[in-house]
Amino acid sequence: MHPVISTVIQRLALGVMTLFFVSLIIFSSIELLPGDFGEAVLGQAATEETKAAFRKELGLDEPAYVRYISWAGSALTGDFGTSFSGRNASGVDRSRPVVELVAPRLWNTLFLAGMTAIIAVPLSMFLGITTALYRNSIYDRVMNATTLTTISTPDFFVAYLLILFLASLNPIFPSLANVSDGTEFWDRVYRSTLPAMTLTLVIVAYMMRMTRAAIINLLASPYIEMARLKGVSKMQVILKHALPNAWAPIATVIAFNLAYLVVGVVVVEVVFVYPGIGQLMVDAVTSRDIPVVQACALIFAATYILLNLTADIVGIVTNPRLLHPR
Amino acid sequence: MSTKNKKSGAKGTKGDILLEMKDIVIDGYSDERWHEIVKGVDLTLRRGEVMGLIGESGAGKSTLGLAAMGFVKPGCRLTSGSIDFDGVDLMNAPESKKRQLWGSRIAYVAQSAAASFNPAHRLIEQTVESAVGHAVREESEAKVDARELYASLQLPDPDNIGDRYPHQVSGGQLQRVMTAMAMSPRPDLIIFDEPTTALDVTTQVEVLVAMREIVERFNTAAIYITHDLAVVAQMADFIKVLRYGEEVEEAETRKMLTEPKMPYTKSLWSVRALEKPEVKGDDIVISIKGVDAAYGGAVKVLHDVNIDVPRGSTVAVVGESGSGKSTTARVITGLLPPVKGEVLFNGEALPNALKDRNKDQLRRIQMIYQSADTAMNPRQTVAEIISRPLQFYHDMSSKQREARLVELMKMIELDETFLDRLPNELSGGQKQRICIARALAADPDVIICDEVTSALDQIVQEGILKLLLRLQKEFNITYLFITHDIAVVTAISDEIVVMFQGEVVEQGLKSEILSPPYPDYTQLLLSSVPEMDPDWLTQLTDARSA
């Protein structure tokens, strides 16, 4: 078997194992959360008997390992259980499966993340390459200062500034990004513009600076000097001789930022009232809706693992020493 | 178009001046100020001529060589002078103008082939890049030509070797591919910057032959930069000697070798004259018995190694890289416990592992390394570095230590004032002397010297070798001297051990080993060592092909 394939399989197996440990941590840390769901739902006035009955109904009286196995087992089949909220002690059950709650929110989040990535990744690559090419020029300094400012500014503040200038003073884009299932594609894009711009401003700096640093780091290599002495133009030196050797660190920082787009954007969602998964998770934590919290946490963990795995694989396949062993 | 016609058409006769550099001054930036690295050197090169540029490191030879292309490394600047390459003023030409010449009419061959190839691209893509980029040839035509060049450079499997990546071929092969790369656009001038310095002698010969043939065949002019006189004698029509950024002298190769004018040039030659009269020792101090050793348990690097080291003499261990020389040293010091066999010291077996040896056993065997830079803590002063063994092995009080430090500094012929310096305030030779003092501080019976002079210039090398010989005479120290440099071997050794692929090929007195009949490998190794005779390479290739 080609060593790259075996390495990829190895990394995949490691990813699955990590996911298993993460699920254990998620499960047990929620166990350790203070307070009692029954009490939270039924109120402090509820009698011990009603609380006990309520717990039994939800299966909360079983030992933890039994609940973990049944939870993890059904999670593997895509069933994350039933949300605790919407249950009514009086008997009318309006609760919904977790998947039903999470799926549309996850789709919204992925849409926003994808839209941001489509703008931010090429933009930061372009800026990274051009600033490396014209390093220490005015252009380089201005770009560095600008992006440094945008990462140093809190994301909600960037969001409010954009709302102020692009929604209030010059009403170009809507300040509320309230999309729903029925929203048409282009309308969705239009409504999501401001949150996507905010996120772009927040993440471009990392990726651009890493791209620039990775390339400049290589520019001191003897093979770059050799390329210059072969009369290769500066642009070609960077595109053909530096960039192919710089993918590994760039892919890592891109993966990290894409993961942030999925798991870390709750503040931006709140500002724009965007119905993403971050808001859902925060709501679920407040209402102690354990199945939803677990599902969200597991999705976040899987996102991180998957993206980092992708970055690893990019690092491997762009390394000729691994791709073409002796 | 005119340049192109010149290229393909009349190549010019051998007499035409191709490159003329006048009064070149180049500054380098260090310690927060500009220093002159090259101080007003003139250089004239005619078509088809090969000039040897020699000098110690820091003489400015590489800087001058690159300046011939109108190029300076980052941190350097061309301050004044004029560079005229076939009518083009490279001193004042804009980068874009120079770029048209680089890789089409002037090509560069760098010292480290492994570092100078882009790891991400196949060899043939890199070989033809300049020819295709400068529109000298179509890509397909250039590739056909590249394969022909590979063949004439005697690369194995010339039709397919270009499809490999740099890490998939050996250093010697890479160096030849780089020569093909330089030759691909058929330049008028090639700058060879120490192209064989990183290679073993046996590989060096093949590369030298290949480079010389191809340069002759295409009547290319070349500047050959090296610190190895014997190498330059094979390659160059005439030689320019540089020192401290200034020209010492320039002469036709044979004339330079037979009657150098300047004392400095003579001193460069004299190193090779150092030779220790051999002494046969009977009192064996270290005896390696049937040692097998392996790294990580898997790959065996030593097979049944037997070496006897007589007291007070120097045993040189020679062989190319990968032959197991350094591994043998690691086994003796206990850094790498052998898989099989044992090491006897004064007839008694030493514990295999370092941690099982007592202080006295450790004290008796000391080591000096190739790279003095990395063998010293950069944040400790010389006094601290040398004091450590005094304290560790001899438990000396601070007063005793002070007295001993002064003594040791005298032994290594350095002034006491050096004691307060940090390693980076010393020159390469001084650093190596401090390492010798540190080894001496332990009062060892045996010092293992691992390539201790190979990073040093010829003259500094001679100083270190003389010092080691004097110390041996005064204190009856035994040396196990690991080296790949046969000149060093003749200078210092009594006995020689030849190693090849982890095995001892032969051991004996210097006079026995260095005189015929030789086993095959010893023959190959010895005959590959360049000699000062300019006809050496020609005679060697004739002899080998016969």
Please give, one letter per residue, the 3-state secondary structure of B116-158. Answer: HCCCCCCHHHHHHHHHHHCCCCCHHHHHHHHHHHHHHCCCCCC
Rounded average pLDDT over A18-32: 84
Q: What is the 3-state secondary structure (H, E, C) of A169-219?
A: HCCCCCCCCCCCCCCCHHHHHHHCHHHHHHHHHHHHHHHHHHHHHHHHHHH
Is the whole-model pTM more than 0.80?
Answer: no
Is the pLDDT at A90 greater than 60, yes or no? no
Higher pLDDT, A89 or B72: B72
- The continuous run of DSSP H or E covering B302 comes out as strand B299-310
Checking DSSP bridges between strand B495-500 and strand B365-368, what pairing results, if any?
unpaired
Q: Give this complex's ipTM.
A: 0.77
Neighbouring C-beta atoms of residue A14, cutoff 10 Å: 13
Per CB-CB distance under 8 Å, the chain B contacts of A221 are 115
Angle at alpha carbon of residue B257, lines to B255 and B259, rounded to 5°? 60
d(CA B464, CA B459): 9
A84 token code pair: 């605790």
Return the CATH number of the domain spanning residue range B284-515: 3.40.50.300
Tell me the per-residue pLDDT of B306-320, one tens digit each, with 9 for 90 and over: 999 999 899 999 887
Domain positions in chain B are 16-273, 284-515
Token pair 């309006």 is at which residue?
Answer: A94
Interface touch B165/A244, C-beta < 8 Å:
no
Per CB-CB distance under 8 Å, the chain A contacts of B100 are 231
Of B459, B466, B468, B533, the C-alpha closest to B227 is B459
B352 token code pair: 């295999």
Which pLDDT value is given to residue B8?
37
Is the pLDDT at A139 greater than 90, yes or no? yes
Q: How far apart are the CA of A321 and the nearest CA of chain B, in angstroms?
A: 7
d(CA A282, CA B232): 75
**Strand order across the B299-310 sheet:** B299-310, B284-295, B340-345, B348-349
Least CB-CB distance to B167: which of A232, A236, A320? A320
Length of chain B, please? 546
Q: What mean pLDDT, rounded, does chain A reach?
A: 86
Range from A87-91, A144-148, B228-232, B513-517 carrying the lowest mean pLDDT:
A87-91
Query: Are B333 and B447 contacting, i.e. CB atoms less than 8 angstroms apart?
Result: no
Interface touch A221/B134, C-beta < 8 Å:
no
Of A188, A201, A203, A207, the C-alpha closest to A112 is A188
d(CA A183, CA B260): 90
Least CB-CB distance to A229: which of B103, B118, B120? B103
Rounded average pLDDT over A37-58: 73
Per CB-CB distance under 8 Å, the chain B contacts of A225 are 73, 110, 116
Checking DSSP bridges between strand B246-252 and strand B446-450, what pairing results, if any?
unpaired
Q: How far apart are the CA of B170 and the nearest CA of chain A, in angstroms?
A: 10
Q: Does A20 touch chain B (CB under 8 A)?
A: no
Checking DSSP bridges between strand B221-226 and strand B50-54, what pairing results, if any?
parallel
Interface touch B119/A233, C-beta < 8 Å:
no
Least CB-CB distance to B69: which of A221, A229, A236? A229
d(CA B462, CA B273): 10
Type of residue at A139: Y
Query: Hey, what CATH topology would domain B16-273 get?
Result: Rossmann fold (3.40.50)
B199 token code pair: 């290679």
Highest averaged pLDDT of the listed ranges A2-16, A85-99, A238-252, B253-267: A238-252
| Chain B contacts to A (CB-CB under 8 A) | 69, 71, 73-74, 99-104, 107-108, 110, 112, 115-121, 129-130, 133-134, 164-165, 167-168, 181
Q: Which of A135, A221, A229 to mutate: most B Cβ within 10 Å? A: A229
Query: Are B313 and B478 contacting, i.e. CB atoms less than 8 angstroms apart?
Result: yes
Least CB-CB distance to A222: which of B102, B112, B167? B112
Domains of chain A: 111-286 (1.10.3720.10)
Q: Which residues of B199-238 are buried (b: 16+ CB within 10 A; e: fewer)?
A: bbbbbbbbbbbbbbebbeeeebbbbbbbbbbbbbbbbbbb
Per CB-CB distance under 8 Å, the chain B contacts of A228 are 71, 102
CA dihedral B101, B165, B321, B426 (to 10 degrees): 50
d(CA B107, CA B184): 9
Rounded average pLDDT over A121-143: 93
Is the pLDDT at A199 greater than 90, yes or no? yes
d(CA A177, CA A26): 31
Which residues are paired to B35 by β-bridges?
A: B28
Question: Could you tell me what percentage of chain B is helix, strand and coil, using 3-state DSSP and rounding each to the nearest 5?
Answer: 40, 25, 35
What region, left, alpha or beta, does residue B463 occupy, with left being phi > 0 and alpha being psi -120 to 50 degrees? alpha
Which pLDDT value is given to residue A129?
93
d(CA A219, CA A136): 14
Interface touch A223/B117, C-beta < 8 Å:
yes
d(CA B500, CA B320): 7
Residue A172, judged by CB atoms within 10 A of its CB (0-12, 13-18, 19+), counts as exposed
Interface touch B165/A320, C-beta < 8 Å:
yes
Interface touch A231/B121, C-beta < 8 Å:
no
Interface touch A227/B118, C-beta < 8 Å:
yes
Query: Are B155 and B214 contacting, i.e. CB atoms less than 8 angstroms apart?
Result: no
Using only C-alpha atoms, what is the Rg of chain B? 26
Q: What is the pLDDT along chain B (546 residues), one digit of tens a residue?
A: 333 333 333 344 557 889 999 999 999 887 778 888 899 899 999 988 999 998 877 788 888 999 999 998 888 888 899 999 998 899 989 988 999 999 999 999 988 788 899 999 999 999 999 999 998 889 999 999 999 999 888 888 899 999 999 988 888 888 889 989 999 999 999 999 988 877 777 778 888 888 888 888 888 999 999 888 888 888 899 999 998 888 999 989 888 888 888 888 877 776 666 777 888 878 889 999 999 988 766 678 888 999 999 998 999 998 877 788 888 998 999 888 888 899 999 888 889 888 889 989 999 999 998 888 888 998 899 999 999 999 999 988 888 999 999 999 999 988 888 898 888 888 888 899 999 999 999 999 999 998 888 777 777 888 889 899 999 989 999 999 998 777 788 888 899 999 888 889 888 888 888 877 777 888 888 788 777 778 888 888 888 777
Per CB-CB distance under 8 Å, the chain A contacts of B112 are 222
Which pLDDT value is given to residue B196?
82
Interface touch B120/A229, C-beta < 8 Å:
no
Neighbouring C-beta atoms of residue A217, cutoff 10 Å: 14
Query: Are B253 and B534 contacting, i.e. CB atoms less than 8 angstroms apart?
Result: yes
Checking DSSP bridges between strand B365-368 and strand B446-450, what pairing results, if any?
parallel
Interface touch A231/B103, C-beta < 8 Å:
yes
Q: Does A178 touch chain B (CB under 8 A)?
A: no
d(CA B166, CA B163): 10
A282 token code pair: 């925060």
d(CA A37, CA A55): 8
d(CA B350, CA A105): 71
Neighbouring C-alpha atoms within 13 Å toward the C-beta of B99: 14
Query: Are B90 and B83 contacting, i.e. CB atoms less than 8 angstroms apart?
Result: yes
Judge if B16-273 and B284-515 fold alike in CATH terms: yes
Token pair 């898989």 is at which residue?
Answer: B339
Interface touch A230/B112, C-beta < 8 Å:
no
Q: Using CB atoms and an 8 Å cut-off, which of residues 208-247 of chain A contact chain B?
A: 220-223, 225-233, 236, 240-241, 244-245
End-to-end CA gap in chain B = 47
Interface touch A244/B102, C-beta < 8 Å:
no
d(CA B377, CA A134): 39
Query: Are A125 and A289 contacting, i.e. CB atoms less than 8 angstroms apart?
Result: no
What is the widest separation between alpha-carbon atoms in chain B?
80
Residue A166, judged by CB atoms within 10 A of its CB (0-12, 13-18, 19+), counts as middle
Type of residue at B337: P
Interface touch B133/A231, C-beta < 8 Å:
yes
Least CB-CB distance to A231: which of B100, B117, B119? B100
Q: Within its chain, how far is the Cα of A45 from the centroid?
A: 41
Query: Are A151 and A296 contacting, i.e. CB atoms less than 8 angstroms apart?
Result: no
